[in-house]
Amino acid sequence: MHKNNIRNILQRLFLLSLALHVLLTGCTAESSSKKNGQPSQKSLQENAKTATKESIYRINGPVEDSQPVMLTTTPKPIRAIYVSSHVANSKRINELINLVDQTELNAMVLDINSGVTLISPVKSGNKADYTQLAPSNKQSAQHFRQVINQLKKHHIYLIARIVTFKNPELANAIPDWTLKRKDGKVWRDRNGNPWIDPYRQEAWQYPLALAEQAAMLGFDEIQYDYVRFPENASKVDKEVAYANEEGWTKSDVIRRFLHRANLRTHKHGARISADVFGMVGSSNDDMGIGQKWDLIAQEVDVISPMVYPSHYSKGMWGIDNPDLSPGPIIKHALKDTVRHNHKLNEKGIATAKVRPWLQGFTAGWVHPHQKYGEAQIREQIRAARIAGFTSYMIWNSTNRYPKFTT
């Protein structure tokens, strides 16, 4: 029997066993209070109490990597905006809630380890022990948990964004986990930031524990961003000595991390997604950063290419100025992702749903460029819809979005 067919059979068996487990454990309580597949407020409160106990996430070794993953889907299209943890913890969150309530938006992507973090290392003497992690008791984290409950009351689908391997705070705290130059010193990118070495499997425990905490607090989905190696690979590879004892390729290690993240995240009832460069959906290799579409699409529930028109070079797909032509760029970019998934599906391989990141910001550094407002956002959404995609996310680092209709 073909190995892909065996894998699909195992996935179905796993799904059936999971369904049986749910039935036997009696998870019908308060089902009438759920709306659009969202958990009840009582269950969220119980999860939050459990998540904020003095329980500690410890390194228990890797999950069996040969265990098959099961991909899940959302019960409805997800249409989200990005919200930083700083804005989420401010009064501006009420404006964004109103925006969601008054438009076709129904979701938010919230940072959970940038600005506000939900977990902290346990103190060992005067040092922080990042091999043991516990829920954070900082005032900002406590307030953030209240915001999460407020958003859930509005039936907003919550996506927890984890900045994975480009994590300067974690890298500075544990230099042993960072990318190293060939002389043994910490490598830094052009902005002076250290990166976690994806080959350091011991460093995986931090984002995995963070995902577990987010799921227990009621997040519906965990989104891994910067789940890659630094860009400008040819230069970086000449400078860095990777901690690659297993001899894996870059795309191997990214796939393995997401595979393990899938297994652990699903145990807590949350979905898993990964952000990738827009061009990853149009490429057949890993672009030197470890993001190979055909591998990642098999490991996550949702794959999100960042198809920002401003990020494409002049002349791409015959388009002279991509930033001025958001509709055609979105159309071509998403068409390529369909091609990738279709080839895998023809082989009997299940693939992630595609939910693109759309541009909600003005790229003033691009020449020529245009101001991105309501019309430009609508054009991107329409282009995605014509291409067959009804889910999307909009990125604006300042979290300022126009009220738009489509």
Q: Which tokens is 138 given?
A: 């900082």
Q: Is residue 206 pLDDT above 80, yes or no?
A: yes
Give pLDDT tens digits for 351-380. Answer: 999 999 999 999 999 999 999 999 999 999
Average pLDDT over residues 63-90: 90
Q: Where are the domains of the chain?
A: 34-395
Band of residue 3 on the pLDDT scale cut at 50, 70, 90: very low
What's the pTM value of the predicted model, to 2 decimals?
0.85
Kindly report, residue by residue over 308-331, the tens digit of the pLDDT.
999 999 999 999 999 999 999 999
Q: Cα(316)–Cα(333) distance, rounded to whole angstroms? A: 10
pLDDT tier, 62 (very low <50, low <70, confident <90, very high otherwise):
low
Distance CA 362, CA 310 (A): 9
CATH superfamily of 34-395: Glycosidases (3.20.20.80)
Residue 35 predicted with pLDDT over 50: no
Q: How many CB atoms lie within 10 A of CB 391?
A: 20
State phi, psi for 111 to the nearest 5 degrees.
-65, 140
Question: Tokens 């998870």 correspond to what residue?
Answer: 27
Q: Is 383 exposed, middle or buried (0-12, 13-18, 19+ CB in 10 A)?
A: buried
Q: Which residues of 273-289 are buried (b: 16+ CB within 10 A; e: fewer)?
A: bbbbbbbbbbbeebbbb
DSSP 295-361: HHTTT-SEEEEE--GGGSPTTGGG-S-GGG-HHHHHHHHHHHHHHHHHHHHHTT---PEE--EEE-S
